[in-house]
Structure 1
Amino acid sequence: MPLLGCLRLAGFAKRGIAPMRNSEHPETTWRPSRRAVLGAVAASTAAAALPLAGTPSASAETRRELLYIGTWRGTQVNGAWFDPVDGTMTPYGIVAQVNSSWQARHPSKPVLYVGSGDAGGTVSAFRIDRSSGALDLIGQAKSDSAGTPGGLSYIGIDRRSDTVLAANFAAGLTAAMPIRRDGGVDAPASVAVHTGSGPHPRQTGPHPHHAVVDPSGRFVLVPDLGADRVFIHEYDRRTRSLSGARTYPVTPGSGPRRVVFHPDGRTLYLLNELSADLHTLSWNPEKGQITLEESLSIVAPDYTGTKSGGELSMSLDGRFLYATSRGTENAIVVYAIGRASGSLTLVQRVSSAGLTPWTFSIHRSGKWMLVANQASSTVNLFSIDRTSGKLTATGTSMTVPSPDCITFA
């Protein structure tokens, strides 16, 4: 398998490519031409003397896929091509000048949504040019009308109601923001304000960190790092209304961060950031209730450093669960999921091949995992054994400043 060495992203401005501004939002968007983008791809590839050097063949160009990578506390979204056959990544530069805390792609429209960490927690909608990877700004809306400094920690899309669900970490609220027919986003149709705090210095108030619709479509679950609870809001898809506030409390100081549903619709998993532990939970969709079944630490038994759980995701077939242990452990932990019980069995603990594995994304083939190592400013590629669930570092990496979110387009 040809390996791709570390590359430094080349900004379009440095290559003398003039920005094209959107007349409606001239200060926030620009769009390089298709010729400019493809030229940047060829230039950066040739400079590094990579296996993909020169103009890609027609077959390689057909199979490659777009990637968008956000920058933690930065002001840009970076673009890259991923070849799922060869397992190579080719960066082509900055595609949007916007504060980027999290991203989400619309499941059917060629639109990328970018949630910001700026005051008010703005969500920006960009139309994707699938041939070049360029982005055009469609519109923007704030999740928090009060303009609380600090902004969003997560955005996700509910396809059935065509809604952006935004977790505003700073304002302590979850917003349901309608998606327009053109893919743009409107101001919130409803907002659920959280309350609560915890003993940790980062828990002086509520800080929502995720928002997921349950399989029944009747509830939105929001792990709240600051309140030490998972909030369970009733959700009306027709009106996009969030209401009610059932909660699942965790041990004080745990800091809930991510929740993932198993395909069976009755089991879910919760990752706590501050305590770096993982809860196996049963879910009652009729009552909207959570019950703890099992709790285990994601850090190694002899680890004594700072604990910090990062990302949590499941293999596409529901057989394996993956979590990142940040702090100074810098590891990805793999668990097998019990077919009948949903219980977890440790399979592997492997280095993330960088520092502070903030997030990762699993390719739709189930063969690849791309890891955003935020502190080392690298995106590292792992292969996945779909039989055992184990990861193998390929040695392929790509330089991206402080990556925090990887989105396949």
Structure 2
Amino acid sequence: MTEKIYAYVGNWGFAPAPKGISIFQFNQETGAMALIETIRYDIAAGQLCLDAKNRILYAVNECGERRGEIGGGGYLLAFRINPETGGLTLINEKESLLPEPSYLCLDKSGKYLLTCHCADPWHVTKIKKNEDGTFQNEVLFDDTAIVMFRIREDGGIGDVCDVAITPGTGGNGPNSRKNVDPVTNHIQLVQVISRLHAVVQSPGGGMFVACDKGMDKLIAFKLDRNQEKIVITDEYVTEEVACFPRYGTFHPTLPVFYANNENLAQLNCFHYDEDAGKLELFCKVKLLSEEVGLIEGKPVGAQDILIHPDGRTLYVTLCGLNQIVVLSVGEDGIPAVKQNIPSGGNLPRGINISPDGRFLVSGNMVSGDITTFFIHENGMLESTGKLYKAVSPSAIQFFRAGMDDAAAQ
């Protein structure tokens, strides 16, 4: 039976240009990608989450305002996959409750979908009357939270069953300050508000970690599935201020979690206790052999991170230099850099590995293209020399299907 591989590419960007979800057919023999169509140009699909078994694709619409309103937050969408054509049919859409939903994580039980929020960096100043009749003002920021949704029987997104609000300092912390990206003029508040950028689940399913680039911390939590509650179990605050922890990944077999940093070319490596939901830093790994200074006024930092299914190689993308860093992973879980290879495009924001583990695909957001790489037996990369036009690729998910049945990867 002929097998088909589809690559779903979520498009995101700073400019208010059309984005959407692009559907490609992927050739597992050659690594070639053929565009089928792009849908829903109206959504900023910065992250995607796949339920391969049930043929469902979940996507964020990373926006800050409800339709027709000022403020109100973003949306989550559920699509049914047609395994014969790769086409997507909308099941439903839910408000995420807060601005800029930035990541999606499907609980291993298949009953819950978790999202987190990067939040808008804006503020309002309110006048407050005190009990003694005097007046003062207070500055308010958006809430930021991990939000837990039930999954419906049809795979659609159900009601919210719990919310874990992650606090900031409101600008009153010792390291609080306003940071402005010199290239995009994008505001990145430092230790003022929580800005959650990822939430990922351990291989055993008993523990989650959220990366909070706003407060320079990692937040560990568990789910009380009987009570349908989020239970915060641990926090780790980075020693480096304004490093912006961005994404993380768990080792497939070792009790190790890796986190990268958007504003620092360094990995933080943790041992974790799944039962207790605890993190313990055990090493830091520099992603560059020498300091390169600022590029266009900003430090070189990471974008995406993933580990090969065999657990022997870790991949991290770097913006500024537009590189993919390849790291070997020892039996002790300690990574070591063994290759820095050009991504072939500008700002490699999202990467993924083909279902057979033979190709790595890089979505280069600013240049609007996708590049592909052979993965050698030792994990090192070699460019295929091919470049595929895209919109503003940010997240990539592979779906493997037969002609008459889905094959969950």
Same fold (TM over 0.5): yes
Aligned pairs (5 A) from 1:184-203? 184-196=156-168, 198-199=176-177, 201=179, 202=188, 203=190
Aligned pairs (5 A) from 1:2-151? 62-73=2-13, 74-99=18-43, 100-118=45-63, 119=65, 120-144=73-97, 148-149=98-99, 151=100
Q: Give 1:329 deviation, angstroms.
A: 0.4
Partner of 1:372: 363
Task: Give CA deviations for 1:101-126 in whole Å, capped at 9, x if unaligned.
Answer: 21111131111111111232211111
SS in 2 for 1:211: strand
Cα root mean square deviation, aligned: 1.8
Contact 2:114–2:146 (CA<8 Å) still a contact in 1?
Answer: yes
RCO higher in structure (CA 8 A, sep ≥6): 2
Q: Distance in 2 between matches of 1:113 and 1:66?
A: 15
**% identity of equivalent residues:** 25
Contact 1:121–1:168 (CA<8 Å) still a contact in 2?
Answer: no
Q: Distance in 1 between matches of 2:61 and 2:210?
A: 18
Q: Give 1:179 deviation, angstroms.
A: 1.1
* 1:225 lines up with 2:213 in the alignment: yes
Q: Which moved more, 1:387-396 or 1:283-292?
A: 283-292
Whose strand proportion is higher, 1 or 2? Answer: 2
* 1:337 lines up with 2:340 in the alignment: no
User: Which residues of structure 1 form unaligned runs of 5+?
Assistant: 1-58
Q: Paired residue for 1:348, among 322, 339, 356?
A: 339
Q: Distance in 2 between matches of 1:239 and 1:105?
A: 25
Letter paired with 2:303? G
Q: Distance in 1 between matches of 2:228 and 2:384?
A: 43
Q: Distance in 2 between matches of 1:199 and 1:317?
A: 42
Q: Paired residue for 1:167, among 116, 133, 142?
A: 116
Contact 1:303–1:329 (CA<8 Å) still a contact in 2?
Answer: no
Contact 2:19–2:391 (CA<8 Å) still a contact in 1?
Answer: no
Letter paired with 2:34? T
* 1:154 lines up with 2:103 in the alignment: yes
Q: Give 1:70 deviation, angstroms.
A: 1.3
Letter paired with 1:324? T
Task: Give CA deviations for 1:48-76 in whole Å, capped at 9, x if unaligned.
Answer: xxxxxxxxxxx8xx333111111114441
Whose helix proportion is higher, 1 or 2? Answer: 1
Partner of 2:398: 408
Contact 1:382–1:392 (CA<8 Å) still a contact in 2?
Answer: yes
Letter paired with 2:89? D
Normalised by the length of structure 1, the TM-score is 0.80
Q: Distance in 1 between matches of 2:93 and 2:227?
A: 21
Letter paired with 2:378? S
- Judged with a 3 Å threshold, the aligned counterparts in structure 2 of structure 1 residues 238 and 75 are, in CA distance, closer, same or farther, namely farther
- Judged with a 3 Å threshold, the aligned counterparts in structure 2 of structure 1 residues 187 and 143 are, in CA distance, closer, same or farther, namely farther
Partner of 2:318: 325
Letter paired with 1:173? A
User: Which residues of structure 2 form unaligned runs of 5+?
Assistant: 66-72, 120-142, 170-175, 180-187, 400-409
Q: Distance in 1 between matches of 2:199 and 2:39?
A: 27
Partner of 1:178: 150
Contact 2:233–2:278 (CA<8 Å) still a contact in 1?
Answer: no
SS in 2 for 1:181: coil
SS in 1 for 2:196: coil
